[in-house]
Amino acid sequence: MSNHKLVIYIHGKGGDAKEAEHYKPLFKGYNVIGFDYEVQEPWKVKEKLLDFYNLYSKEYKSIIIIANSIGAFFTMNSLFDKKIDKALFISPIVNMENLIKNMMSIANVTENELCNKKEITTDFGETLSWEYLCYIRENPLIWNIPTYVLYGENDTFTSKDTMKEFIDKSGANLNVMKNGEHWFHTEEQMEYLDNWIKNIIMEF
């Protein structure tokens, strides 16, 4: 087992570990498994993801992470100091504080309000949490693992400037899909995603 290679897939919000099945044909010679975090608070996800990583990392010589959207944020928050050969991030959330502040602005919620109420449910279905925002500020992301990023030109969750800032800081390789969205799901988008991965694998 020590020579085996592993891909861990970490889904986005509303997704699940079964999405890992899509990547199995692309990673021949690798075992591909998905991780279900089942909780939303980053400190709780970190605990679960570290347990998951520690369980499997002993058995494999090479580990690659594929993470989608908020799954990439959870990866960076949890596994920044772990042995990972490469990370492939699809539409990653790279600045959670910006995203939360944008949601607060849309919901007309001030920091004082959130601090006083601790949690506020918005009209668009998201629950804003003061504890979550404080955690983000107290645990800034540090990410130095060799990383490839696939980003949709029309991503509404992460601005081009925010992505550029992350790329400059982390040294990650950026691929931008023209007219791409945050959620890669159409036939054209999935074909682009698959070709992106195939080209990366050729570099291994």
pLDDT at 22: 98
The answer on pLDDT for 194 being more than 50 is yes
pLDDT at 79: 98
- According to the CATH classification, is domain 5-94+143-203 in 1.10.3720.10? no
Contact between 160 and 154 (Cβ < 8 Å): no
pLDDT at 171: 97
pLDDT at 27: 97
The answer on pLDDT for 1 being more than 50 is no
169: which residues sit within 8 A by CB, 6+ positions away?
A: none
The domain ranges of the chain are: 5-94+143-203, 95-140
* pLDDT > 90: percent of the chain: 95
- Beta 5-10 vs 86-90: how paired, if at all? unpaired
pLDDT at 187: 97
- Say how far residue 48 (Cα) sits from the centre of its chain: 15
Region 5-11: what's the mean pLDDT?
A: 97
Contact between 59 and 31 (Cβ < 8 Å): no
Region 118-143: what's the mean pLDDT?
A: 97
pLDDT at 204: 81
9 or 3, higher pLDDT: 9
pTM for the complete prediction?
A: 0.96
The answer on pLDDT for 3 being more than 80 is no
Q: How confident is the model at residue 2 (pLDDT cuts 50, 70, 90)?
A: very low
